[in-house]
C-alpha cells in the first residue's frame, strides 16, 4: 500500500491528483474529430438505433447519482432529449415507465452496488435493454448489462469517490455529444466541446496547483458544525457533490441546494458560524448569484466561493475565492468540483478523521 501511495498520505488525495490523467484516459480513443462527435466501442447500438431514442433514463446511487444529474443537463443541452435521473433504490420499486425508445443507463464506479444492480435487473426483467457506465472492469454490473462504457479511471481505493466522478462526467459529456451530433447539434458546437474536453487535463492541473489556498479555506470551515453548498444550473449537482464529500469524510453536516432556493428555507440557518460555499463561476445568471451572496453577507454568514480566475467582483464579495480557469460552460462544472474535493479532504485532515476509511461507509454497498 505504502508503495502505491507514493508521495501521498491518503488514497483520496492521490486519486484527486490523478484526475488530469484519468480524464485523459476517459477521452482516449473516443473522439471523432472529423465528425466532431464521439464513439464508444461497447455501446452496441447503431447510429440508426440511437437516432430513434426519445428519452434517456439514468439510475445510480451516491456520487454516481450526482454525475447522472449533470448527465441530464448534458443530454438536454446537447441532444435536446428529455432525461431523468432516478435513485436506483427507488427506481426498482416504482414501476417507472420505460419503452423501446428510452435509453436506460445505470452508473456505478464499483459495478457492485446492490441497489444499482437491482435497478438493472429490474429493467432487464421487464424486457428492456440495459446500458452501464462503470469503472471496474468485469464487475457484476459490467457483465450483466447489454452494453456500456468503461471509465478507465483505474482502481479507486478512497471510499469517497473523486476521480471516478470526473470520469463519469467526461463520459456523459461524450455520450451527449454523440446523441447531439446524430440530431441537431452543429459541427462547430461539437468541435468547441471537443476542444474544451481536450483542454481539461491541463486545466485540472492548474486547479490542483491552488491546493495551498484550499487548505487555507479548510481552516475557515473546520470549526463549523454545518455548511451550505449552493450552485445554479450545471453547478447545482456540483454543490450536491461538494456537500456529500464534506459529510462523508469530515462528518461536518452539509447541505447542497440550488442557489436561488436558499431563500425558501436554508437562509434561516445562516449565522456567523455557518459557512456557505458558492459554486459561482462566471456565466449565465452570475449577477443573480452575486445578489444571493450579498443576502448571505447581510446576515453575517461566512462565504467561500469557487469562481473564475480574475473575477474581482466575486473575490471582493466573499471571504475567500478559490479560482478555476475560464472554460466552456459544459466543462466548467468538471473543474469546479476539484477544489471542493480538496476542501473536504483538508477539512477532514484538520479534524484528524480517518480519510480513506470513514466511519459507517463502505466503498461499495452490496446490501439493499
Q: Which residues are catalytic?
A: 363
Considering only residues 6 through 65, tell me which ones interact with ligand G6P, judged by CB under 6 A: 61-64
Minimum Å distance from CB 63 to ligand G6P? 3
Single out the residue of 113, 166, 167, 331 in contact with ligand G6P (rule: CB under 6 A).
113
Q: Is 109 in the site for ligand G6P (CB under 6 A)?
A: yes
Nearer Cβ to ligand G6P (62/281): 62
Minimum Å distance from CB 320 to ligand G6P? 27
Q: Which secondary-structure segment (H or E) carries 307?
A: strand 303-308
Q: Is 289 in the site for ligand G6P (CB under 6 A)?
A: no
Cell reading at 252: 461536518
Minimum Å distance from CB 62 to ligand G6P? 3
Nearer Cβ to ligand G6P (141/193): 141
Residue labelled with grid coordinates 469546479: 336
Residue labelled with grid coordinates 483538508: 346
Q: How far is CA 12 from the centre of its chain?
A: 16
Q: Where are the alpha helices (DSSP H) in 18-77?
A: 19-27, 47-51, 62-74
Stretch of residues binding ligand G6P (CB under 6 A), selected from 153-161, 226-234, 260-268, 279-287: 153-161
Beta-carbon contacts of residue 256 (< 8 Å; ≥ 6 apart): 228, 229, 230, 231, 236, 239, 240, 241, 242, 243, 244
The sheet that has 320-324: what strands, in order across it?
A: 253-258, 226-231, 276-279, 303-308, 320-324
Q: Where are the alpha helices (DSSP H) in 182-301?
A: 187-208, 211-221, 235-250, 286-298
Residues touching ligand G6P, count (CB under 6 A) = 16
Nearer Cβ to ligand G6P (67/177): 67
Binding mask 158-177 for ligand G6P (x = CB under 6 A): -xxx----------------
Single out the residue of 22, 102, 110, 332 in contact with ligand G6P (rule: CB under 6 A).
110
Q: Is 116 in the site for ligand G6P (CB under 6 A)?
A: yes
Contact 239, 230 (CB under 8 A): yes
Q: Is 114 in the site for ligand G6P (CB under 6 A)?
A: no
Minimum Å distance from CB 157 to ligand G6P? 12
Phi, psi torsion values for 315, nearest 5 degrees: -60, -40
* Strand partners for 276: 228, 303
Q: Is 237 in the site for ligand G6P (CB under 6 A)?
A: no
Q: Is 361 in the site for ligand G6P (CB under 6 A)?
A: yes
Q: Is 139 in the site for ligand G6P (CB under 6 A)?
A: no
Q: Is the dihedral of CA 92, 96, 97, 98 positive or negative?
A: negative
Q: Is 108 in the site for ligand G6P (CB under 6 A)?
A: yes
> Using CB under 6 A as the criterion, which residues of the chain lie in contact with ligand G6P when the complex forms?
61-64, 108-110, 113, 116, 159-161, 361, 363-365
Amino acid at each position: 500500500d505504502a508503495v502505491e501511495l507514493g508521495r501521498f498520505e491518503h488514497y483520496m488525495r492521490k486519486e484527486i491528483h490523478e484526475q488530469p490523467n484519468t480524464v485523459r484516459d476517459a477521452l482516449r480513443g473516443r473522439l471523432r474529430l472529423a465528425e466532431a462527435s464521439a464513439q464508444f466501442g461497447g455501446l452496441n447500438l447503431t447510429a440508426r438505433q440511437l437516432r430513434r431514442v426519445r428519452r434517456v433514463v439514468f439510475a445510480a446511487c451516491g456520487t454516481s447519482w450526482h454525475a447522472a444529474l449533470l448527465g441530464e443537463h448534458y443530454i438536454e443541452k446537447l441532444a435536446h432529449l428529455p432525461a431523468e435521473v432516478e435513485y436506483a433504490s427507488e427506481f426498482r420499486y416504482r414501476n417507472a415507465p420505460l419503452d423501446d425508445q428510452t435509453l436506460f443507463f445505470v452508473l456505478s464506479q464499483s459495478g457492485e452496488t446492490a441497489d444499482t444492480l437491482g435497478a438493472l435487473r429490474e429493467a432487464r426483467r421487464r424486457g428492456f435493454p440495459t446500458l452501464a457506465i462503470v469503472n471496474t472492469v468485469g464487475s457484476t454490473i459490467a457483465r450483466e448489462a447489454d452494453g456500456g462504457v468503461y471509465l478507465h479511471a483505474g482502481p479507486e481505493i478512497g471510499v469517497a469517490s473523486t476521480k471516478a466522478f470526473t470520469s463519469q462526467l467526461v463520459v456523459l459529456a461524450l455520450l451527449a455529444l454523440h446523441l447531439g451530433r446524430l440530431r441537431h447539434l452543429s459541427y462547430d458546437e461539437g468541435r468547441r466541446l471537443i476542444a474544451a474536453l481536450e483542454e481539461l487535463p491541463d486545466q485540472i492541473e492548474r486547479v490542483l496547483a491552488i491546493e495551498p489556498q484550499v487548505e487555507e479555506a479548510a481552516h475557515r470551515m473546520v470549526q463549523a458544525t454545518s455548511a451550505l453548498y449552493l450552485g445554479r444550473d450545471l453547478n447545482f449537482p456540483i454543490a450536491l457533490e461538494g456537500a456529500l464529500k464534506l459529510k462523508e469524510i469530515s462528518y461536518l453536516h452539509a447541505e447542497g441546494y440550488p442557489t436561488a432556493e436558499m431563500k425558501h428555507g436554508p437562509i434561516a440557518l445562516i449565522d456567523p458560524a455557518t459557512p456557505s460555499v458558492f459554486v459561482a463561476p462566471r456565466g449565465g445568471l452570475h449577477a443573480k448569484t452575486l445578489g444571493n451572496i450579498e443576502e448571505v453577507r447581510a446576515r453575517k454568514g461566512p462565504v467561500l466561493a469557487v469562481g473564475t480566475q480574475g473575477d474581482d467582483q466575486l473575490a471582493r464579495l466573499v471571504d475567500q475565492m478559490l479560482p478555476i480557469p475560464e472554460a466552456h460552460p459544459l466543462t466548467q462544472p468538471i473543474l469546479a468540483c476539484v477544489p471542493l474535493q480538496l476542501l473536504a479532504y483538508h477539512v477532514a485532515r484538520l479534524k484528524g478523521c480517518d480519510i480513506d476509511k470513514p466511519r459507517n461507509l463502505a466503498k461499495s454497498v452490496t446490501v439493499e
